[in-house]
Structure 1
Amino acid sequence: MDSLGLVQPLHKLSSTIFFSRQRRSPRVIPFSSSLKPLPSKRVNLSKPSTLTFALAESDSPKPLETSSKTLLLQLSKCFDLPSDYFQQLPSDLRLDLNDAAFDLSNGPIIDECGQELGETLLNLSRAWEQADTSTSRTLVKILPELESSLTDGAKSAFGRRLISAGRRFRGMGQYGQGELQKIAKAMITTGEVLSANASPASVGNESKSNTRMFKFGELQVAVSPEKAYAGAAIAFVFGILSWQISQGIQSTPESSLQYANDNALLLAKSLRGTLLATFYASAVLSGFTTAGLLLLAKQLSSEKDSS
């Protein structure tokens, strides 16, 4: 009886301890969940991405400041061609090369690009017209050295000329190992960067000087509205003089002149007809020239006012 009496209290005590452990065990779960490690990790991960993005934004303007000179150096490497490369081009590509030379140096280049750069571009255009590869390579290597001394207006004008000439090279298509396309891409890219770096004020001042360039062989003539009006006046006066001379020759009767023989008479008649045709043609051409220059002057004046 005593042993049974001891066993029952011990059994009750062990069951009480077992159930108490079962009741206390769930309390560990809310304690572990209160640590919350995941939000702290998310905060730490978000900071480096923000810093990386900020550094990328702060470093982005730096390549633009030095890209123009770097691109000019790359352009000079594109002209590292064999000495007879331009001379071996077909006739149609030689014509495109002459057009590129004209686009590079047309207009008041000295006023827009400055004395040193303007003369360099003029010499470079002559080298392209003469298909002189060695001279063009030497002149293109000078361009990176001149870039740092250019004003915003000169850079803008230089960039626009490079873009125009580069499009001529791009129109030549594939030739050889694609050297012409590499030159075209380098010229257009460099021109776009130079034009983008120019201030809006300098670009606006350049657009006010509207001129048209006419090329006759190696002669280039820049025509402004004032020059067009002056040329129209000169053509008008020359047309009047030509008309009056032709009228004077025609009004002179052949019977009033004395000739030594029939051969002299035939020579005088042929000379008289030639003079009449020449002066009448000069009068007509002067009239067309006067009208054309007046229209050109009016067009240039309207473009200048609109800009």
Structure 2
Amino acid sequence: MATLRFSPFLSISSSSSSLSPLSPSLLSSRHISPFKPLHLQRSLSISRSRFLSFALAESDSAKSLEEDSIRPLLQELSDCLKLPPDFLSSLPNDLRLDLNDAAFDLSNGPVLDECGDEVGEMLLNLSRAWERADAATSNSIAEKLPSIESSLKGRANLALGKRLVSAGRRFQAMGQYGNGEVQKIANSMIKTGKELSRTPVVVTDEEPDRKSRKLKFGEIEFELTPEKANIGAAVGVLFGVLSWALTQGVQSIPESSMQYANDNALMLAKSLRGALLVLCYLSTLLSGFASIGLLLLGRQLSNENKPE
């Protein structure tokens, strides 16, 4: 009975001793297991930071490789554009027309606003050299092509790429000529243009520069502003008033006052008088339309220049 009475106590004491705070197993279960998630979190944070740094390094290296890939293409295009002194001037008439089309595609529109001042001026000078068939000037400009790499930022890459692809297709349409110089230029232009067009454009919160409208008559180029449009409208009104006054002066001369030696001279005078009246009326009408158009243009330019 004693054994039966004291056996639960002994079993409880043994179990309690096994659950004693001084038990090594309890110490290990209480003190080591809670620290396992912390070690995992630290290892995960370290691995995550290493992954992020590796990804940033990879993106920087890819960006540097992309920037480095543009300069060899510009150098290749520069080498292809270096032609013999009499190459452009010896082109047939149909190829000269294609060359002029390529020059137009390279520099038409707001080239200075889209590509920047340095690149835009270079494209304008190169297109003028092609139009004049001046190979020497074209070669000197082509040597400077690799130096524009630092100026190709943002949307200038996309604008220059589109112009190079368009001009390159003009050269490609010229077919085989000489020792294949034309096709080399075409292939290099298209390849460089496509590479520049693939360059990502960084969108910023800065307000974009407002594009100015320009008129170009041959070598003369001037910018359109609301003030210039209003001045042109005033000049048109003045010219219309003068034309109307001249019309009234000619019309006020009676036909009976015309005295000539014979009927043929009289008929000629009447014909000249009628032609002068028609010309003056047309001049007055055109001056009025031009003045109205310039006033509307000046109003439109004023609205475009207003801050939003």
Q: TM-score when scaled to structure 1?
A: 0.62
Question: Post-superposition shift, 1:75?
Answer: 2.9
1:276 Cα shift? 1.6
Over the residues paired in the alignment, what is the CA RMSD in angstroms?
4.1
* Deviating more after overlay: 85-94 vs 234-243: 85-94
Q: Which residue of 2 aligns with 1:127?
A: 129
Q: CA deviation at 1:253?
A: 1.2
Aligned residue number for residue 188 of structure 2:
182
Map Cα deviations across residues 236-270 of structure 1 (whole Å, 9 max, x no partner): 22222212212221222122244355554344323
* Structure-2 separation of matches of 1:237 and 1:280: 14
- In 2, distance between residues paired with 1:60 and 1:222? 41
Q: Which residue of 1 aligns with 2:104?
A: 99
In 1, are the aligned partners of 2:107 and 2:120 still within 8 Å (CA)? Answer: no
In structure 2, do the counterparts of structure 1 residues 129 and 53 end up closer, same or farther at CA, with 3 Å as the change threshold?
same
Q: How many residues align?
A: 250
Shift of 1:54: 6.0
Instruction: Among all aligned residue pairs of Structure 1 and Structure 2, give the percentage whose two residues are the same amino acid.
Output: 37
Post-superposition offset of 1:188: 5.3
Equivalent residue number for residue 160 of structure 2: 162
Give 1:119 deviation, angstroms: 4.7
Q: 1:108 to 1:101 in 2, by over 3 A?
A: closer
Q: 1:253 matched to which residue of 2? A: 254
Cα pair 1:169 1:183 within 8 Å, conserved: yes
Tell me the amino acid that sits aligned with residue 186 of structure 1.
T
Equivalent residue letter for 2:212:
T
Give distance in 2, aligned partners of 1:276 and 1:163: 55
- Residues 70 and 195 of structure 2 are in contact (CA less than 8 Å); yes or no, is this contact kept in structure 1? no
| Aligned partners of 1:228 and 1:293 also within 8 Å | yes
Contact kept, 8 Å, 2:214 with 2:221, in 1: the verdict is yes
Shift of 1:53: 5.4
Correspondence for 2:82 = 80
Change in CA separation of 1:141 and 1:268 when aligned onto 2, cut-off 3 Å: same
User: In the aligned structure 1, how far is the partner of 2:137 from the partner of 2:68?
Assistant: 27
Cα distance in 2, alignment partners of residues 133 and 141 from structure 1: 12
Change in CA separation of 1:97 and 1:57 when aligned onto 2, cut-off 3 Å:
closer
Structure 1's unaligned 5+ residue stretches are: 1-45
SS in 2 for 1:278: helix
What is the deviation of 1:71? 4.2
Deviation readout 1:267-291 (Å, 9 max, x if unpaired) = 4323322322222221222222223
1:243 and 2:244 aligned: yes
- After superposition, the Cα gap between the structure-2 partners of 1:58 and 1:118, relative to the gap in structure 1 and judged at 3 Å, is closer
Counterpart Cα distance in 2 of 1:296 and 1:118: 26
> What pairs up with 1:263-278 in 2 under 5 angstroms?
264-278=265-279
Which range moved further: 129-138 or 81-90? 81-90
CA change 1:58–1:304 in 2 (3 A) is same
CA drift of 1:127 comes to 1.1
1:120 touches 1:139 (CA, 8 Å); kept in 2?
A: yes
Quickly say closer, same or farther: Cα 1:184–1:303, change in 2 above 3 A.
farther
Q: Distance in 1 between matches of 2:258 and 2:169?
A: 64
Distance 1:271 1:305 in 2: 51
Q: Distance between the aligned counterparts of 2:296 and 2:104, measured in 1?
A: 26
- Change in CA separation of 1:288 and 1:159 when aligned onto 2, cut-off 3 Å: farther
Q: CA deviation at 1:139?
A: 0.8
1:226 match: 227
The aligned amino acid for 2:104 is D
Question: 2:164 is aligned with what amino acid?
Answer: G
Which secondary structure state, in structure 1, belongs to the residue aligned with residue 223 of structure 2?
Answer: strand
- Name the one with the larger helix percent: 1
Alignment correspondent of 1:36: none
Matched-pair contact (CA < 8 Å) for 1:246–1:276? yes
Q: CA deviation at 1:158?
A: 5.4
CA distance in structure 1 between the partners assigned to 2:154 and 2:194 by the alignment: 13
Tell me the alpha carbon deviations over residues 157-191 of structure 1, each in whole angstroms, 9 at most, x when there is no partner: 85465245325315535433363243144245447
Cα 1:300–1:170 change in 2 (3 A) is farther
Cα distance in 1 for residues equivalent to 2:304 and 2:266: 57
